[in-house]
Structure 1
């Protein structure tokens, strides 16, 4: 059995607070098609899903063509906002996130990964903006997987790193993350500072309220 352990992070709502740009971009996308913008709470409820699935939920009455147009308009609006403000202001790291990532990266037997509904382009921009190059040995993005909560992202991360389910943990802020963890047979740690309330994190093994709680929790889970 390998001594390696794999710690996988969701991104939006877990590592970074991007809700302002997500809600703003969604409003711009719907306006571009002459549609009323969905309520803020509805937009935040779909964060983590792949955009095609998200639009099906936000605009179920729209045709498939309109949903595709909404996806394209959202991507463009998000890119525009990120270009105008930069990743650090557009999607700031949550308090304590960088310190915990630094500490985990320094552990010789810990591998870090991400599993996100972002595109490859979006994740690359975020990593570059926060100078996180080299932190994550496995990066699973929406371009290559079914939407969460399908376990594909976690399964691919384990396959890439050679770490089994018993030594893998998924950390996220949404029910989609915790359901994905359960479907993949790994432990899930929910975070309360993101976009789904604690009541939606029922599949989490434990819920933490501050980033500094993560290191001792991982120690208890994985040794």
Structure 2
């Protein structure tokens, strides 16, 4: 029964990934060339770069991912930049076409399905927020990502970011931790855990200032 439940849960998460990819593809179809070249919330990456990164994640199987990481000496930035360059098209139209081809494809290179759901949720917001586009994924989707992010550091130091804080969503059931209160929409909590300081504008409580200071400190350290 447990294996069946896990399989069902994975299918739900995979379907959510496909929904969010499709929604992003629809938004991307309306962008101008100038918007494709806009800076995203990801440091160093434009909107088009982020799209190519998402295509790479959905196109790279486990063995290829491991070989790429090994070749990059386990430097995730170098690994990501190489895969991004591989999947970025000669034009924005080609980059979008390549992304559309993976909309219904695999979740990601590993079996951490909730993490790859977080990948599309966070990077979609990385693109939309600077462009003034608004989409709030279903609360079940953002809650699944929030729970994964709060439980471990995987591709982002999400658990570390909220250490010692009490987290409460204002639009859903997500709640965790103890300490200074950090509350707000689940999507904004997810973005904050993913290291996006811009999300702190949507959050409240004494924990908001603490999270903002941590993210700024991490940003300075990584420069």
Instruction: State the TM-score, normalized to the length of structure 1.
Output: 0.28
Structure whose residues are more often strand by fraction: 1
Greater relative contact order (Cα < 8 A, sep 6+): 1
Instruction: State the TM-score, normalized to the length of structure 2.
Output: 0.28
